[in-house]
């Protein structure tokens, strides 16, 4: 019966198991590949979607190393390419004479990170993962030859290949490997993601600009003062929807061309303890779906203006400031949070600090944003509230929870009692909230563990078990 499932469904089942039950090669290679031909074909197509990228993110056994993956790809190179690699001393005569594998693994490739591929090619050509700068320069011809032939194979066999570049591992500011790809990568190609630093030399960005005319997702670490190369790259990109992430310690100068493209942002994330970019720059972001501002210098009024300028498109909102922030601007905090119900009706994810403003406005937000799935109230400066008022607040919170909510997390100590949480969950049950993942740090106050000789921790456990059995809570709740 399972063998008759459509390939899309079978592959979704495989992918689910990959995400929940272990590394890609150990879970699929040793099980699904050997069931029958149909299973083998569908499992292989997933395993080889991005094997080098997966290896870079995971710890794999020796038999699944990057070297083994590269060797498989080399076996599938055309004869002319194998001859070039053999004559350059990159591969052995025996390997050059081996026939292609029964399965064309390169045809399954969906995503490739170009800088990571260069690093793997370098290690293969040098014959070691550890090398000096002199060895690196000495083997330049061999390194670039292997890199070029592999890229030609991938692009020829996988016409819908998606590219990304992560420059955090670039060595000695080399850009020659990017230069030689300008005639290999198809014209007007799109770069799915670029992770870069303002401190990189402009020639690197010029080389990237010759290959790609669009960047969908740009992540900039501001670690240097000279970013003329990056600005030049952004200037020449097509004006399309894109995402921007900014982090680091240096200010990011904004050019006029940059400003024109800012209005097309669909995702904006800023992480810094200092002001990298004046938030007023982003007031023209009318189509934002994701907004994250995380840092000590967060100005609530500026964030309010950004939210207010959107066309009610925000689906994910994360605002994080710290206790060191000027808390005298309480009115600005109220203004910011009060703008959410009106301007974010399609909100699905909300991460905000727990302040006095949050205490008063979170119920209004939950009532208005009935598509919310994830809510996190992060430790900041918890308001002092009596146990009786906290009980009423939790009851009202439960009455406002949308049935779509999947996860609620409250970080920090609130001194919540078993009774207050129980009442909250009763209201969630009547609101038809199901399988809610509830996480509250230190939610039972110390004096509730023992009261009048009663073990409150036992009542805590029984209360959780009751609501898990009713289906209100997810079994991982705590």
Checking DSSP bridges between strand 242-248 and strand 111-113, what pairing results, if any?
unpaired
Residues 62 and 41 in one domain: no
Residues 105 and 56 in one domain: yes
Asked if residue 148 belongs to a domain, the reply is: yes
- Among the three residues 147, 181, 215, which one is the final residue of a domain in this structure? 181
Question: Phi-psi bin for 277: left (phi > 0), alpha (psi -120 to 50), beta?
Answer: beta
Find the domain containing 12 and state its range.
1-47
Asked if residue 356 belongs to a domain, the reply is: no
In angstroms, rounded to a whole number, what is the distance separating the alpha carbons of residues 185 and 213? 11
Query: Do the Cβ atoms of 162 and 217 come closer than 8 Å?
Result: no
Q: Which helix (H) or strand (E) holds 74?
A: helix 66-75
Measured CA distances, 202 to 197, 205, 206, 222, 250 (Å): 11, 5, 6, 14, 17
Residues 148 and 132 in one domain: yes
DSSP H stretches of helix in 238-294: 256-262
- Return the residue matching tokens 């097309």: 264
Asked if residue 150 belongs to a domain, the reply is: yes
Residues 69 and 176 in one domain: yes
The pLDDT value recorded for residue 412 is: 65
In 3D space, the residue among 54, 43, 49 whose CA is nearest the CA of residue 7 turns out to be 43
Asked if residue 199 belongs to a domain, the reply is: no
Asked if residue 82 belongs to a domain, the reply is: yes
In angstroms, rounded to a whole number, what is the distance separating the alpha carbons of residues 17 and 10? 11
Query: Do the Cβ atoms of 433 and 399 come closer than 8 Å?
Result: no
In a 3-state reduction of DSSP, which class is residue 478?
A: coil
Question: Phi-psi bin for 237: left (phi > 0), alpha (psi -120 to 50), beta?
Answer: beta
Residues 17 and 106 in one domain: no
In 3D space, the residue among 299, 308, 198 whose CA is nearest the CA of residue 258 turns out to be 198
- Among the three residues 119, 150, 181, which one is the final residue of a domain in this structure? 181
Asked if residue 15 belongs to a domain, the reply is: yes
In angstroms, rounded to a whole number, what is the distance separating the alpha carbons of residues 391 and 425? 12
In angstroms, rounded to a whole number, what is the distance separating the alpha carbons of residues 97 and 128? 24
The pLDDT value recorded for residue 447 is: 46
- Return the residue matching tokens 């689906």: 315
Measured CA distances, 152 to 106, 114, 177 (Å): 11, 12, 13
Joined together, the tokens standing for residue 199 give 């401190």
- Among the three residues 150, 181, 212, which one is the final residue of a domain in this structure? 181
Residues 176 and 75 in one domain: yes
Q: Provide the domain count of the chain.
A: 2
Residues 79 and 37 in one domain: no
Residues 65 and 140 in one domain: yes
The pLDDT value recorded for residue 200 is: 86
pTM of the prediction? Answer: 0.87
Which residues, including other chains, have CB under 8 Å from residue 34's CB and lie 6 or more apart?
40
Q: Which residues of 369-404 are buried (b: 16+ CB within 10 A; e: fewer)?
A: beebebbbbbebebbeeeeeebbebbeebbbbbbee
Residues 99 and 113 in one domain: yes
The pLDDT value recorded for residue 20 is: 54
Residues 24 and 100 in one domain: no
In a 3-state reduction of DSSP, which class is residue 264?
A: coil
Measured CA distances, 462 to 236, 423, 447, 451 (Å): 62, 14, 18, 16
| Mean pLDDT by groups of 10 residues along the chain of 478 residues | 75 72 54 80 84 62 69 93 93 88 91 93 88 88 94 94 89 85 91 91 91 94 78 87 88 76 91 78 90 81 90 92 53 86 94 84 92 87 71 91 92 76 92 91 53 64 90 87
Asked if residue 266 belongs to a domain, the reply is: no
| Residue 126: burial class (beta carbons within 10 Å; 0-12, 13-18, 19+) | middle
Asked if residue 262 belongs to a domain, the reply is: no
The pLDDT value recorded for residue 216 is: 96
The pLDDT value recorded for residue 1 is: 53
Joined together, the tokens standing for residue 441 give 């740090």
Query: What are the E-state strand segments in 148-225?
Result: 162-166, 189-197, 212-222
Q: What letter does residue 100 receive in the DSSP assignment?
A: P
DSSP H stretches of helix in 254-318: 256-262, 300-309
Residues 68 and 94 in one domain: yes
Residues 41 and 103 in one domain: no
């Amino acid at each position: 019966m399972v063998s008759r499932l459509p390939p899309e469904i079978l592959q979704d089942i495989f992918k689910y198991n990959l995400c929940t039950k272990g590394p890609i090669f150990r879970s699929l290679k040793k099980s699904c590949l050997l069931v029958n031909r149909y299973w083998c074909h569908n499992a292989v197509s997933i395993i080889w979607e991005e094997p080098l990228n997966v290896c870079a993110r995971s710890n794999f056994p020796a038999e699944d190393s990057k070297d083994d993956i590269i060797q498989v790809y080399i076996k599938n190179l055309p004869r002319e390419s194998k001859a070039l690699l053999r004559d350059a001393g990159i591969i052995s005569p025996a390997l050059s004479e081996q026939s292609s594998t029964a399965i064309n693994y390169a045809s399954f490739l969906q995503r490739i990170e170009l800088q990571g591929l260069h690093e793997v090619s370098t290690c293969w050509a040098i014959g070691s993962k550890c090398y000096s700068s002199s060895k690196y320069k000495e083997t330049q011809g061999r390194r670039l030859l292997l890199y070029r032939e592999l890229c030609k194979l991938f692009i020829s066999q996988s016409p819908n290949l998606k590219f990304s570049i992560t420059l955090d591992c670039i060595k000695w500011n080399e850009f020659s490997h990017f230069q030689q790809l300008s005639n290999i990568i198809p014209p007007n190609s799109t770069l799915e993601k670029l992770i870069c630093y303002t401190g990189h030399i402009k020639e690197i960005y010029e080389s990237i600009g010759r290959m790609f005319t669009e960047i969908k997702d740009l992540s900039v670490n501001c670690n240097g003062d000279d970013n003329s190369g990056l600005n030049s790259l952004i200037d020449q990109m097509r004006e399309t929807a894109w995402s921007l992430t900014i982090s680091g310690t240096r200010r990011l100068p904004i050019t006029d061309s940059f400003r024109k493209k800012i209005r097309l942002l669909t995702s904006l994330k800023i992480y810094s303890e200092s002001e990298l970019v004046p938030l007023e720059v982003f007031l023209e972001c009318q189509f934002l779906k994701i907004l994250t501002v995380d840092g000590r210098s967060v100005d609530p009024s500026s964030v309010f203006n950004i939210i207010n300028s959107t066309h009610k498109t925000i689906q994910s909102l994360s605002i994080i400031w710290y206790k060191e922030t000027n808390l005298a601007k309480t009115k600005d905090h109220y203004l910011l949070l009060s703008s959410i119900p009106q301007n974010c009706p399609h909100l699905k994810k909300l991460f905000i600090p727990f302040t006095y403003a949050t205490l008063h406005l979170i119920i209004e937000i939950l009532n208005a944003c009935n598509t919310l799935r994830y809510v996190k109230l992060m430790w900041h400066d918890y308001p002092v509230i009596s146990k009786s008022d906290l009980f009423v607040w939790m009851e009202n919170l439960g009455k406002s929870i949308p049935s779509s909510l999947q996860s609620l997390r409250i970080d920090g100590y609130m001194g919540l009692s078993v009774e207050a949480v129980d009442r909250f969950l009763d209201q969630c049950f009547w609101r038809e909230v199901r399988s809610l993942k509830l996480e509250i740090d230190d939610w039972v106050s110390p004096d509730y563990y023992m009261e009048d000789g009663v073990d409150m921790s036992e009542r805590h456990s029984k209360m959780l078990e009751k609501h898990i059995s009713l289906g209100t809570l997810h079994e991982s709740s705590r």
